Amino acid sequence: MRKQINLGTPQVSLDDIYQDALIVLYEKILDNSFTLSCSIQTYVNSVCRNMLLKKLRDNPKHTEIKGDFDPNISDDLGEENIKDRKFEALKWAFEELSRGGGKCAEMLKLFWYKKNSIKQLTDFFSYENDETTKVQKSKCQKRLKKIATNYILQVT
């Protein structure tokens, strides 16, 4: 019940729900076919939770907006712009990784785009075992992320 206080439920309402849950428990105990398969506290908490959820479902809060409404205000938070920037940063970072030489760009391309398995990468790059390949791939991903993050920081 303490968790429900954080949801903004009035204390009076919580007390009522708790008392109703105890009444439900009492009525169930009087029923000979009822078998309690958990602790009493767990059962009461579950009943309280279900009653509270039903009450919240039945009485949703409606907020009325008063005042002038400006239809020219956009609620677009620029999520597409953020995705475009991230994509651009990753593209630029991948190109930088490719220009730098080494195996990182090729490894990531084979893994992400060509869908090669770790075993295939191990064989292709002649690594000692799959664990070595995983470590190298992880280092390459971190390097790519670092380059992309630096790019974003420079652009913004």
Single-letter residue type at 69:
F
Residue ranges of alpha helices (H) inside the chain are 2-5, 11-30, 40-58, 79-99, 104-108, 118-125, 130-155
pLDDT at 156: 63
Structure pTM? 0.48
CB 84 within 8 A of CB 65: no
pLDDT tens by residue, 48-74: 888 877 877 776 664 444 555 555 554
Q: Which two tokens stand for residue 91?
A: 């593209």
